[in-house]
Chains A and B, each alone.
Chain A
Amino acid sequence: MSIELSTRYLGLSLKTPLVASASPVTGDLEALARLSEAGIGAVVLPSLFEEQIEHDELQLARLRDYGAEGFAEAPGGYFPELDDYNVGPDAYLRNLERAVQALSIPVIASLNGTSAGGWVKYATSMQQAGAAAIELNVYHVATDPDADAAAVEHRYLELVRAVRSEVTVPLAVKIHPYFSSLPNMAKRLAQAGAEGLVLFNRFMQPDIDLANLRVAPHVELSTSVELRLPLRWIAILKGRVDVSFAATTGVHDAADVLKLLLAGADVTMMASALLKRGVEHPRAVLAELTSWMELNEYASVEELKGSLSQINAPNPEQFERSQYMRALVTYASPRLG
């Protein structure tokens, strides 16, 4: 029996439901080519951070100007003027162009902005550079006690609307899970023009450096355990909000992929697994996925997708509160026995 692994995501046809999400791996052209050979259905390039671009430009200008025009012996400053500092999005866009040219699979650009103008400007440039779709990586940590939930949500929606009005390629929005009503937010994002939701963004969790008593940035690779969060929410949203779903966080092996597809994901995204196991890893995952489907007589990914979503599950209540009760009881019973 031949197994059809293709899927549709953001209106794009992907040869497999495995997508390489934004990570250092997808910043390397050679790695991208190998991922494509290993069966990846699409790639998301690392995020272009508007804040980073601006910071770099200002730092560069400041350091270049430092000490310049102050001393008679060094009126021109302490650095040679170079032809090209490659500040701004140019390097990113060039990389994007090269990836688009080199790969036969869709190349999705990822954008993290700070200003409405920045989002629109860079998204437009990404479209021009050939991005098949744009993933808006909305990374906002609300710290202002005076900004209420509505205001924060409004920010997201305005952003999606603004970008939607300027670009024609599909838009995905990568969000975090901490909305009071995630389904409502998902629906409004779809109305604002998002074709897909990427669930979920993991905020960088700062750590404390005990040796130096400072706050230290910390990045930890995900584990399969973490996929439960996107799994639940994709299952709940599937069929209720009409967008594509990408599951990201905790996708490590074929079992993870299967679970998320069953819950309703259109694609599953990998980052930590690629960092840990290398760019050949998708080959093994896809082989295992295929053999499971063969064994369980699924002919296509489309057939799998959402078959265990909340709407379709035989025990939908498990996706809600009762799930916790059940888990507790199951966990406690051996000791009781």
Chain B
Amino acid sequence: MHSQRLSVPARVIVDGNEAAARIAYLTSEVIAIYPITPASPMGESADMWSDAGKRNIWDSVPQVIEMQSEGGAAGAVHGSLQAGALTTTFTASQGLLLMIPNMFKIAGELTPTVFHVAARTLATHALSIFGDHSDVMAARSTGWAMLASASVQEAQDLALVAQMATLASRVPFLHFFDGFRTSHELNTIEQLAQDDVRALIDDRLVHAHRERALNPARPVLRGSAQNPDVFFQAREAANRYYDAVPAIVQTAMDQLASRVGRSYRIFDFSGAPDAERVLVAMGSSLGAIEEAVEALCQRGEKVGLLKVRLYRPFDGRALVSALPPTTRSIAVLDRTKEPGSVGEPLYQDVVTALMQGWGDVHGGSALPRVIGGRYGLASKEFTPAMAKRVLDELAAAHPKNRFTIGIVDDVTGTSLKYDREFSTEPSDVTRAVFYGLGSDGTVGANKNSAKIIAENTPLNAQGYFVYDSRKAGATTVSHLRFGPRPIRSTYLIGSASFVACHQFNFLDRMNVLEYAAPGGTLLLNSPYPAAEVWNHIPPQVRRSIVDKRLRLFVIDGDRVARDAGLAGRINTIMQTCFFQLSQVLPPEQAIDQIKRAIEKTYERRGAAIVNRNFAAVEATLAALKEVPLTTAGAGDEPDRAAFTLPATAPDFVSRVTGLMIAGKGELLPVSALPVDGTFPTATAKYEKRSIAREIPIWDADVCTQCGLCAIVCPHAAIRTKAYPAAALASAPASFTARDWRGKELPAGTKLTVQVAPDDCTGCGVCVEVCPARKKEVARHKAINMEPKLLHLDRERANFDFFLELPAIERSAVEHDQVRTSMLLEPLFEYSGACAGCGETPYLKLLTQLFGDRMLVANATGCSSIYGGNLPTTPWSTNAAGRGPAWSNSLFEDNAEFGLGMRLALDQQRALALELLAKLTSDLGETVVRGLVDAAQRDEVQRSGQFERVERLKATLAGIDKPEARQLLAVADALVDRSVWIIGGDGWAYDIGFGGLDHVLATGRNVNILVLDTEVYSNTGGQASKATPRAAVAKFASGGKPIGKKDLGMIAIAYGNVYVAQIAIGAQPKQTIRALLEAEAYPGPSLIIAYSSCIAHGIEMSNSMAIQKKAVQAGYWPLFRFVPNLEGLEDGHAHPFHLDSRKPSMPFKDYALEQARFSVLTRSKPAHAQELFALAQRDIDERWRYYEQLAGIERSVPHSEQGEP
């Protein structure tokens, strides 16, 4: 079957996702996908290749289809397999769990397929996007073979082995590798040529698969229902197929080896042939362990490593045979946790295998002792030092079983303390660490550097990139290694000969010299010239530089970039410096290669950007200067405090949150963390990131007090307060106040518009929407962006004072006007969302209206990340300590999750009412009636009920009856709660639509807010069913051919659902009105909110103007459907209210300002013209339909319970 290998193997540098996806693509015909981190890039690559017409090994272009969920993807895969196509998918974490039902079926039907999984943590006490084996371990019982890759090279090679073996064995394969550590690590690999893949796939097996497919020419029945008589036997009928798998996999590995020379075994042993102590593990940790084992063997220690590649079916005999007979003790490392088990799964398998087979294989030698432990959950670092520590433990008289390594467990004492200084980093490997900002291009440049080195030198290269979890002002750390041998160091660099800090202010914020090796080089992007820079460096950094004898180089990269017309993009400049200083390539060659990389990256986007980058590269070396070091002033002064918490910070924040904010969360022991994932809210205010360069400054004399700046601020960083003049007595001199204009508040009331200078991201949305202009200078508004440093000290003092001003009495102002609603205190503040985020203004407004009584069910997505990603949360509390209570369940179940909250509240209220009735004699008729009959429609009524309940609780405490104690526990349910179900369009339109639909149909009183960005924003811009026609998105790179789903109309069809479509930038007052109406409506409410997003390709500061245009163009009609319920005070004969005017602007005038649309007019002009015309027709037709709807009369029959 093997043809002669003709091609010379190519050395390429790719990441694990690309390596695996390429093989999957080459060997598939149908690919059903759904985005999930960290597997999304595999689907994106497949989609891109398919779109570009790339062919598989049978010379056809695979079909790639995005589904509505992983469950849907698995179903589509199952069907495609049944119909005879070679089919695959890619997933991770919860996505894999959603595939499990189909996986059981696919395995039960002995259907060959491979699913490629970038293994990721399952959400438990918290979600984590990072890597461990908890997802794949949850799929153990599906009957799938499981093959683990430990490196990028293996991610490619074993992807093919899995494909070969599944065809030969008919058992489906789950091929997995560690999320991020392998899926996102760039590494030099030897690429399998297409003819290698072609030669290793046996077409006879493919034909056999087709033969088994459903076909009316030879019809069969599959998927029957079976009874007790035969099910069991039928389940056992497939045993022989499983028995055959290990040998089939080994044969496939051997075939691969004979063709390309890389040999693998299903269990591979490495280390001393006479090893006594052996580690057993699988996945990316093998790289780190192997380094430790080799280092220890060189010292003469008898240690070894057993690498597990084929995990299921688990061939115990093969495992035992792979162990040296000298083995005395074994430690099994699991990258997962199974609470309540006798040990983690791999440990249990190894113990069982030893018990079953040791004697048979190794005869007389004693059964080794086995311990098991956990490491590396959620990509927790795992280093050779940790591996060594576990091997050391095996030498102990009583080694600890069920240990943990890499953390400090001071609660149950599971952790092993290890020596962090133990290092196995070879001396011939160059190690470099770079600190950058997400927006400065550092990571992209480093990826290019790794590629340049890998492709132009005999060296192997590795790149790994660490991102922080905030979106605005995100920092990145790049870890690059180059060396003569394949690099298998699967851990972060601990000692770097080159450190680059691409943002000078990082010196104050983070310990950038932590990894700097003595005698190494530090490159600083510095706004200060070489002669002056020393005094601007913080003392502690200066001390480190001197102590470590570092060579210091500086360049004003921002200036070079500016001069070249590349403001902010310092990537190629810093890259040039790196090559110059590292001398990894001769300088001329390096520059030549950098230019080639620039051409490759930017050529498609035009000559201008290429030329400007060339100019920047050419100007770089002249601007790079060495700073001669003197020990004078080497940090004699005290350290500059990088981060301090206010003394008022609560205990938990001081002990725990503060460390996480400071980037030292690694140091927290188990005891510091909550046992159940419960954290305090109101913590974002402690994280003063101060990332803006410019902040809005109020010109009170120009201001008309409209409140627009505050309502649109995505970060609650510009606020308005109205307060009595007397409160100004202790104001700082710079504090500005003006008389409140309007009769709503008593004469003498003052107003201040105040910026939070350290919380503002500088997005500029507030300034863009400000309608007030100075008469003499039209460009000068009532707020203007000005350099932060000019105002920082003053505005800090002003803001501190502003916070102390009393919040307005909630009943003192109307809530349905923009200017007055903005006087209410926001309980959602300073989120880490992207600068200018279009979602967060809605959330902030919600909390101003209902924050003190909200329960929030939040779907996974952007809003759960900026809302709930540690260290802090923007969900906040008022002075009384009340505020939104927030939880995230999953991506797919959020509507149901929120409904559950409603059910619980209703149930507790019903119970409380019953108990009140039972306790009438104790409480008194008046008190009970007061509580039962209380209306809670406005602030006054609500606070009345709140006070009644507080009094009730006090009374109950003194009544010694079981009913009283019961009522005390549920009395809070007598105060109305506002249940909000919040999520993005990926959830509402796609993965969670079934649940959302069901919740709407229940008629229950829940409020659903869809933050519609029209794309999967959090996972990087994949199309959803909310993506409009003609928009370019991932999985719709040719422009989405079909129109957006009209979710509002689907909900309206129920008749009893309050539905509104809103756009805060277009009609903020309509937004407020809709939110108030929805909340007041006693049944289900659905609000669809236009949410501007960086994935639209717009100038974010201009997002509100674009929202206006969306409405003017009729692209986003504003409406409210207010069900006509008998008994509602405000019953409407015509429930559908069209709040926006007839379209007055063509669609294209709205669309062409946004890259998501305009890019199509460039990439496919004719197609764009066609789709734009259709999009215009969508708008015209929808408007015609809506206008008719506005005329219809409709009412909903009253239900018995009084619920709609």
Contacts and interface: CB of A to CB of B under 8 A. Distances in A.
Contact of B1162 (A58, A77, A85, A213): A85
B604 interface: yes
B1007 interface: no
B184 A85 contact: no
Given A60-B605, A74-B1020, A82 B1163 contact: yes
B569 to A, nearest CB: 7
Contact of B1159 (A73, A77, A82): A82
Interface string B429-442: 00000000111011
B459 to A, nearest CB: 23
A75 interface: yes
B443 A69 contact: yes
Contacts of B129: 72-73
Contacts of B1159: 60, 79, 82, 85
A86 B1163 contact: yes
Interface stretch (B169-177, B464-472, B1113-1121): B464-472
A68 B1155 CA distance: 15
B608 A58 contact: yes
Contacts of A72: 37-38, 129, 180, 467, 469
Contact of A70 (B51, B467, B604): B467
B1165 A86 contact: yes
Nearest to A81: B48
Contacts, number: 154
A91 interface: yes
A157 to B, nearest CB: 26
A88 B603 CA distance: 10
A49 to B, nearest CB: 13
A299 to B, nearest CB: 47
A56 B1159 CA distance: 10
Contacts of A65: 441, 444, 569
Interface in A50-80: 53-54, 56-61, 63-80
Interface in B1076-1117: 1094-1095, 1097-1098
Contacts of A71: 438, 467, 471, 474, 1020
Contacts of A63: 1097-1098, 1155
Nearest to A88: B606
Interface in B1-49: 37-38, 40-41, 44, 47-48
Contacts of B1020: 71, 73-78
A68 B604 CA distance: 17
Contacts of B1162: 56, 60, 85-87, 91
A64 B609 CA distance: 12
Contacts of B1037: 80, 82
B608 A54 contact: yes
B1155 to A, nearest CB: 4
B1053 interface: no
Query: Which of A54, A61, A77, A213 counts the most chain B CB atoms within 10 A?
Result: A61
B606 A53 contact: yes
A85 to B, nearest CB: 5
Given A61-B602, A67-B1094, A71-B471, A79 B1155 contact: yes
B37 A69 contact: no
A55 to B, nearest CB: 8
Q: What DSSP secondary structure best describes chain A's contact surface?
A: loop
Interface in B775-790: 778
A83 interface: yes
Nearest to B475: A70
Interface in B588-615: 602, 604-609, 612
A84 interface: yes
Contact of A213 (B180, B604, B773): B773
B1021 interface: yes
Contacts of A81: 48, 604
Contacts of A83: 52, 604, 1163
Contacts of A56: 606, 1162
A253 to B, nearest CB: 32
A186 to B, nearest CB: 34
A87 B1032 contact: no
B415 interface: no
B834 interface: yes
A53 B441 contact: no
Contacts of B444: 65, 68-69
B495 interface: no
B438 A70 contact: yes
A113 to B, nearest CB: 13
A87 B605 contact: yes
A60 B447 CA distance: 21
Query: Which of B52, B180, B605, B773 counts the most chain A CB atoms within 10 A?
Result: B605
Query: Which of B565, B608, B609, B1018 counts the most chain A CB atoms within 10 A?
Result: B608
Query: Which of B465, B1020, B1095 counts the most chain A CB atoms within 10 A?
Result: B1020
Interface string B1152-1180: 00011001001101000000000000000
Given A57-B605, A72-B180, A80 B1094 contact: no
Contacts of B1165: 86, 91
B607 A67 contact: no
A61 B1159 CA distance: 11
Contacts of A66: 439, 1094, 1097
A56 B1095 CA distance: 18
Contacts of B180: 72
A79 B476 contact: no
A46 to B, nearest CB: 15
Contact of A61 (B48, B605, B1156): B605
Contacts of A70: 437-439, 443, 467, 471, 474, 476
B608 A57 contact: yes
Interface in B983-1021: 1015, 1017-1021
Given A57-B605, A79-B1159, A80-B48, A73 B1018 contact: yes
B706 to A, nearest CB: 16
A78 B1092 CA distance: 13
A74 B606 contact: no
A137 B604 CA distance: 27
B42 to A, nearest CB: 12
A233 B437 CA distance: 59
A75 B605 contact: no
B1033 interface: yes
Contact of B467 (A58, A75, A86): A75
Nearest to A59: B1155
Interface in A192-240: 213-214
A66 B467 CA distance: 15
Nearest to B438: A70
B44 A57 contact: no
A85 B1155 CA distance: 11
Nearest to A55: B608
A25 to B, nearest CB: 17
B713 to A, nearest CB: 20
B1029 interface: no
Interface string A13-37: 0000000000000000000000000
Query: Which of A53, A82, A83, A214 counts the most chain B CB atoms within 10 A?
Result: A82
B1034 interface: yes
Contacts of A59: 1155
A67 B834 contact: yes
A9 B77 CA distance: 67
Nearest to B37: A73
B1021 A74 contact: yes
B609 A61 contact: yes
13 contacts: A57-B606, A60-B1155, A61-B609, A67-B438, A69-B443, A70-B467, A72-B37, A72-B180, A73-B1020, A75-B1020, A78-B1015, A79-B1159, A86-B1163
In the complex, the 4 A-B pairs of residues with the closest C-beta atoms, listed nearest first: A70-B438, A57-B606, A74-B1020, A87-B606
Given A72-B37, A78-B1015, A82-B1032, 13 more contacts: A58-B565, A60-B1159, A61-B609, A67-B834, A69-B443, A70-B467, A71-B438, A71-B474, A71-B1020, A80-B1034, A82-B1037, A83-B52, A214-B778
